[in-house]
Amino acid sequence: MQKITTAAAILGSSILLGSLGLGWIANTTANQMKSYERSVTVKGLAENEVAANVAIWPIQFTVASNELEQLYADTESNTKKIVSFLEQNGIEADEVTVSPPAIVDKLAQQYGGNGRAEFRYNANQRVTVYSTQIDTVRNAQTKLSDLGKQGVVLSGDMYQVRTEYLYTDLNRIKPAMIEQATQNAREVAQKFAADSNSRLGKIKQASQGQFSISDRDQNNPHIMKVRVVSTVTYYLVD
């Protein structure tokens, strides 16, 4: 009988200790899970100024005449003047493209009582420079008045003839900018953790934002601003 009582006591003690152990494990696990639920999401910014490495410069002019043959002759003459001007200012021949002229017959467009146009035919011609010589292009643009002195009438609104600058070497600076954005995000997260009496843990989730390239300002479109924002979520631990 005594042996049975002793065995029962031992069994009871084992069950009690087991229950206490399971409770401790469950409590510890719950606390760990709770700590993992605590996190902070921050954004890190990286910006960089770079010089454009491609310039697309459209030069447009207009010619008017009552004789179609003369119109084409004047258009060809003006085109040659522009191409010669570009070559004299350092633009390579393979960087220049001449588009077909757009001819308008104003007589064919007259309706009702509209007055007769002074010149029947009108031609719009565009010569485009695609160059990696940014400084050469910008220098040539300051001398456009030389074409006016040769009788070339440049035309087109600011949007149509606006020089477009591009930066095509983004892959070269991407890694450093991503690193900078991530470091910036970590600094923000560390400040948040310190203010909340916590410590910064491992990264829970991270996403890289899309790179954007824009003109730095209206007066210097050949200088580009590259920008990226990374979003990072960190665990917070006590």
Q: How many CA atoms lie within 13 A of 14 on its CB side?
A: 6
**Average per-residue pLDDT for the chain:** 84
Q: How confident is the model at residue 238 (pLDDT cuts 50, 70, 90)?
A: confident
Whether domain 38-53+167-238 has CATH 2.160.10.10: the reply is no
Identify the CA nearest to 35 among candidates 188, 198, 196. Answer: 198
Identify the CA nearest to 96 among candidates 88, 87, 109. Answer: 87
Q: How far apart are alpha carbons 166 and 107 in whole angstroms?
A: 41
pLDDT value of residue 71: 94
> What CATH number matches the domain at 54-166, 1.10.3470, 3.30.70, 3.40.190, 1.10.1060?
3.30.70
> What are the backbone angles phi and psi of residue 160, rounded to the nearest 5°?
-70, -35
Contact 136, 85 (CB under 8 A): no
Burial of residue 165 (number of CB atoms within 10 Å: 0-12, 13-18, 19+): buried
Say if residue 59's pLDDT is above 60.
yes
pTM for the predicted model, two decimal places: 0.74
pLDDT value of residue 22: 43
Say if residue 16's pLDDT is above 90.
no
pLDDT value of residue 81: 97
Q: How confident is the model at residue 25 (pLDDT cuts 50, 70, 90)?
A: very low
